């Protein structure tokens, strides 16, 4: 099977023009006589010529490729973002190189370098926490970076998020208004900025506003999985809590099912409000009340922001906060 690669040179020869002219036609450069353009397009079609993006990338120093670092594509939260990212990337003629990091700093740095070696034009980063090592890599390279659904306290790079503090505050306030005095805060690692700094702050603010006392015994740290939620239920009940604000849907549904298995009625005996309004909140019975985050949009807007950065356009603001809401469904009174 011989290499039958058609190059720009073949097209030029067949069309009796120079490579430059073919290049102009391919790139939509207006400085080509219509007749010439027509002739070239015809040859391109006949020869079934397809420009080699790698050669193009080398010559032009642009790969029209965006690197996307994601903790885990098989997690619904992140895959929803990823879909928004890819759609907007496609809209602007970019492809995405997707790389799973498992949220670990070492792998993140490694993957980042790998993407930079591939000369991506920009990077979308998703992660639970931005470590110093990762931050150092960001500032070392001049490739634009945007964080999607991820918080970095020192806002060096672009980012798109919702106001996690405010959203958590509203959620907890709702539970307080419903008369709950012992409200559990159930989240992933508190060392992650988004949990420890943003959501926990919102939780505390809501308590203060409703004159409720902050109590460490009501704070639960846990991995983000269904089974972890199930496992947590005994401790939650022992704490005396009558309601919980939970930072992840999968975790929340674990708690819900655990309560069900214990014969506790939601929302009558225990109220729950969760954070991501994913499909899981709708398949649960009762359906879970939740903060609504525009996941797809967070991905989409991050990528739009990145395209501006890559084009060196003027940016009004590189930290974008999208609106969020509370949707009351079946797990709150």
Structure tokens at 302: 């991050």
Q: With contact defined as beta carbons under 8 Å apart, do 90 and 309 qualify?
A: no
In whole angstroms, give the CA distance from residue 278 to residue 294.
10
In whole angstroms, give the CA distance from residue 21 to residue 43.
13
Residue 131 contacts which entry, DNA, a second copy, none (Cβ below 5-8 A, type-dependent): none
DSSP helix/strand/coil, 304: helix
Q: Scanning the structure block, which residue is given the tokens 């009762």?
A: 286
Residue closer to DNA, measured from CB, 34 or 263: 34
Residues that bind a second copy (CB under 8 A): 1, 50-55, 57-58, 63, 65, 68, 72-74, 76, 79-80, 82-83, 86-87, 90, 95-100, 113-119, 142, 226, 250, 253-254, 257, 260, 279-280, 282-285, 296
Residue 18 contacts which entry, DNA, a second copy, none (Cβ below 5-8 A, type-dependent): DNA
Residue closer to DNA, measured from CB, 7 or 110: 7
In whole angstroms, give the CA distance from residue 286 to residue 257.
10
Q: Least distance to DNA from the beta carbon of 13, Å?
A: 11
Task: Name, in order, each residue with C-beta under 8 angstroms of 304's C-beta and a sequence gap of 6 or more.
Answer: 88
In whole angstroms, give the CA distance from residue 149 to residue 311.
22
DSSP helix/strand/coil, 122: strand
Q: With contact defined as beta carbons under 8 Å apart, do 155 and 175 qualify?
A: no
In whole angstroms, give the CA distance from residue 291 to residue 276.
6
Residue closer to a second copy, measured from CB, 159 or 278: 278
Residue 152 contacts which entry, a second copy, DNA, none (Cβ below 5-8 A, type-dependent): none
Structure tokens at 265: 């009625």
Q: Least distance to DNA from the beta carbon of 314, Å?
A: 22
Residue closer to a second copy, measured from CB, 183 or 256: 256
Q: Least distance to a second copy from the beta carbon of 297, Å?
A: 13
Residue closer to DNA, measured from CB, 56 or 107: 56
Residue closer to a second copy, measured from CB, 101 or 165: 101
Structure tokens at 147: 């964080």
Q: Least distance to a second copy from the beta carbon of 64, Å?
A: 9
Residue 151 contacts which entry, DNA, a second copy, none (Cβ below 5-8 A, type-dependent): none
Residue 80 contacts which entry, a second copy, DNA, none (Cβ below 5-8 A, type-dependent): a second copy
In whole angstroms, give the CA distance from residue 303 to residue 310.
10
Residue closer to DNA, measured from CB, 94 or 270: 94
In this structure, the dihedral spanned by the alpha carbons of residues 254, 258, 264 and 269, taken in order and rounded to 10 degrees, is -30
Residues that bind DNA (CB under 7 A): 5, 7-9, 16-21, 23-24, 26-27, 30-33, 35-37, 49, 51-52, 55-56, 58-61
Residue closer to DNA, measured from CB, 11 or 280: 11
Q: How many other CB atoms are found less than 10 A from the CB of residue 38?
A: 12
Q: Least distance to a second copy from the beta carbon of 62, Å?
A: 10
Structure tokens at 205: 């603010």
Taken in order 6, 11, 14, 20, the sign of the CA dihedral is negative
Residue 27 contacts which entry, a second copy, DNA, none (Cβ below 5-8 A, type-dependent): DNA
Q: Least distance to DNA from the beta carbon of 59, Å?
A: 3
Residue 32 contacts which entry, DNA, a second copy, none (Cβ below 5-8 A, type-dependent): DNA
Residue 36 contacts which entry, a second copy, DNA, none (Cβ below 5-8 A, type-dependent): DNA
Taken in order 107, 110, 112, 114, the sign of the CA dihedral is negative
């Amino acid at each position: 099977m011989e290499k039958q690669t058609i190059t720009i040179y073949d097209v030029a020869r067949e069309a009796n023009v120079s490579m430059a002219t073919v290049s102009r036609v391919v790139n939509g450069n207006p400085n080509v006589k219509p007749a010439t353009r027509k002739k070239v397009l015809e040859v391109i079609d006949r020869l079934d010529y397809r420009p080699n993006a790698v050669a193009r990338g080398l010559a032009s120093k642009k790969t029209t490729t965006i690197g996307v670092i994601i903790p885990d594509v098989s997690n619904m939260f992140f895959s929803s973002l990823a879909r928004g990212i890819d759609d907007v990337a496609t809209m602007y003629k970019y492809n995405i190189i997707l790389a799973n990091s498992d949220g670990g700093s070492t792998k993140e740095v490694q993957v980042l370098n790998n993407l930079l070696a591939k000369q991506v034009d920009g990077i979308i980063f998703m992660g639970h926490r931005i470590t110093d090592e990762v931050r150092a890599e960001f500032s070392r390279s001049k490739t634009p970076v945007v964080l999607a659904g991820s918080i970095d306290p020192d806002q060096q790079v672009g980012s798109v998020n919702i106001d996690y503090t405010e959203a958590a505050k509203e959620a907890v306030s709702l539970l307080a208004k419903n008369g709950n005095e012992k409200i559990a805060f159930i989240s992933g690692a508190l060392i992650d900025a988004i949990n420890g700094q943003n959501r926990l702050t919102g939780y505390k603010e809501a308590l203060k506003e409703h004159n409720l006392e902050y109590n460490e015994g009501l704070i639960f740290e846990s991995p983000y999985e269904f089974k972890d939620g199930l496992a947590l239920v005994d401790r939650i009940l022992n704490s005396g809590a009558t309601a919980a604000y939970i930072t992840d849907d999968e975790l929340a549904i674990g708690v819900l099912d655990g309560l069900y298995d214990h014969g506790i009625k939601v929302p009558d005996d225990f109220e729950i409000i969760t954070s991501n309004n994913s499909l899981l909140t709708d398949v649960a019975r009762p359906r879970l009340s939740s903060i609504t985050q525009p996941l797809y949009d967070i991905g989409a807007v991050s990528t739009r922001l990145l395209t501006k950065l890559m084009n060196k356009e003027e940016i009004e603001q590189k930290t974008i906060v999208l609106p969020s809401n509370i949707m009351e469904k079946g797990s709150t009174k």
